[in-house]
Amino acid sequence: MLIVGSGLAGLNAALLLAPTQRVAIITKRALFAGSSGWAQGGIAAVWRKDDSFEAHVDDTLVAGAGLCDLAATRLVVEQAPQAVAWLQKMGVPFSEEDGQLHLTREGGHSARRIVHVTDATGAAVQGTLIERVRETPNITIFENHTLVDLITDAKLGHPEKRCLGLYALDETTDEVLTFQAPHTILATGGAGKVYLYTTNPDTATGDGIAAAWRAGCRVQNMEFIQFHPTCLYHPHAKSFLISEAVRGEGGRLLLPDGTRFMPQHDARAELAPRDVVARAIDFEMKKGGLDCVYLDISHQPLSFLQEHFPNIYARCLELGIDIAKQPIPVVPAAHYTCGGVLTDLVGHTDVTGLYAIGETACTGLHGANRLASNSLVECMVFAQTTAQAITQAPITPAPVLPDWDDSQVTDADETVVISHNWDELRRFMWDYVGIVRTNKRLERAAHRIALLQDEIQEFYANFHVTRDLLELRNLVQVADLIVKSAQARHESRGLHFSRDYPELLPQAVSTVLTP
């Protein structure tokens, strides 16, 4: 059993499968390096008597702008409390108040239902599960191993559409190793690094999405890239997110002169869904020629801020920003990939033996815009359904897989090409395929992507693979899928806003691309 990725989805699946399967976790850096550990806000789950599953479902559907799959939404919402209880059993120290779980509220939610560990929920959950994984005897961990490609029957010249394993680059030895298994789970996260500004870690390069596409899997709704409205704007702060919960606890968005602007954009003001808030900030920044806007929570007592947002308070203070006395400079940044590899409710992709979960997958839960704090719970629920499907699946005989052949390639003589192409890609994706799009911008991006694909394929064919080359290859592939999906949508819906098609079409239809 192979699991690629060590975020919440991958670790959860590994722990659920370990009692009956030998599990290998393949992760390109350390176990803790993925996006899950960066999640600040929390986990959405109905917990109070004055809340309901129906209300959580409705909030998700509204945020998703008509494209959420109802079955997937109900499954996640109804299984969310059980998932939180499982994490409690694992030892996650959720924040409490008067002996009960403390619940906060975030944009788009009609009630307080966000279970959290102060403002560092992802780090606490990841730390707890990593300890569990390391002490589980049936799990073997391969850190610093980068996915090169999936191995399918088709690549071996057989007609079946089945995944047999994968090739991975071991960075400690610089060798490409062959891993074989009857089942492979892609849990590699999203593709935020395709953009110049992102809240994501450097590992978020769309590896699983690109590899699944090359293996013959359909992808869905890749045009819907969520831009988090409030990333800290500071020259010495890389990708530091100011949690949605700051606005949930009364934070107000201000222009540099102190004017509050969100009520002019949406009746829900700062508690509007992320796409609305991000577009409003983008509008105000372009209108005023601003480098950033400001998020003010200084009306809350110092003790409240230190209790509820200790990490945000400490990090801002390190940078000379006392959030108890002054507003926080913020800008939107690419945050979450709502689309991904098309799956069913048990993680199946179009390739037998290949599964996708977490941000890599498109289950239909998020539709055209993810509701805040629905991502971690999606990881857990689909890790569980996928693990159950795998334990019940038959194991069929597989052929012996060939070793990686690099006898015809040499070491690259100009690796600067990779860094230049990486920088070019991220800049034009930010400029042309960002929060507001036009046909002309998308055409320009498509043209540049085609040129980069040719260069990168030549590099890949002639030189030894490196992690930088593999990540760039995947990012360019994902960029191509994002642009093609955006060009196919002739309306503005959710996270996809087009000046050429500003209206909403009467029927909501998903964008599905086929290799």
Catalytic residues: 274
CA distance to 203, 258, 410, 426, per residue, from 465 (Å): 17, 51, 10, 21
Q: Which residue has the tokens 């788009």?
A: 108
Interstrand relation of 219-220 and 512-513 (parallel, antiparallel or unpaired) = antiparallel
H or E element in which residue 279 lies: helix 274-288
Q: Which alpha helices (H) appear in 149-243, and where do they start and end?
A: 207-214
Could you give the count of Cα atoms lying within 13 Å of 419 in the half-sphere of its Cβ?
4
Q: Which residue has the tokens 């610089």?
A: 174
Question: Could you tell me the two tokens for 192?
Answer: 């935020």
Return the closest-CA partner of residue 41 out of 129, 113, 89: 113
The SS3 call for residue 285 is: helix
> At residue 114, what are phi and psi to the nearest 5 degrees?
-95, 105
Angle at which helix 439-462 crosses helix 416-432, to 10 degrees, equals 160
Question: Could you tell me the two tokens for 275?
Answer: 């796409």
Distance CA 447, CA 200 (A): 26
Return the closest-CA partner of residue 115 out of 90, 97, 136, 138: 97
Distance CA 433, CA 428 (A): 8
- Looking at the chain, the number of H-run helices and the number of E-run strands are 13, 21
Distance CA 320, CA 330 (A): 15
DSSP bridge partners of 170: 145, 175
Determine whether 62 is exposed, middle or buried from the number of CB atoms within 10 Å of its CB (0-12, 13-18, 19+). Answer: middle
Interstrand relation of 139-142 and 340-342 (parallel, antiparallel or unpaired) = unpaired
Question: Could you tell me the two tokens for 108?
Answer: 């788009």
Burial of 439-453, coded b for 16+ CB within 10 Å and e otherwise, reads: eebbebbbebbeebe
The SS3 call for residue 493 is: strand
Provide the terminal-to-terminal Cα distance of the chain, rounded to the nearest Å. Answer: 26
Return the closest-CA partner of residue 230 out of 181, 296, 287, 177: 296
The SS3 call for residue 10 is: helix
Distance CA 202, CA 186 (A): 18
H or E element in which residue 84 lies: helix 70-90
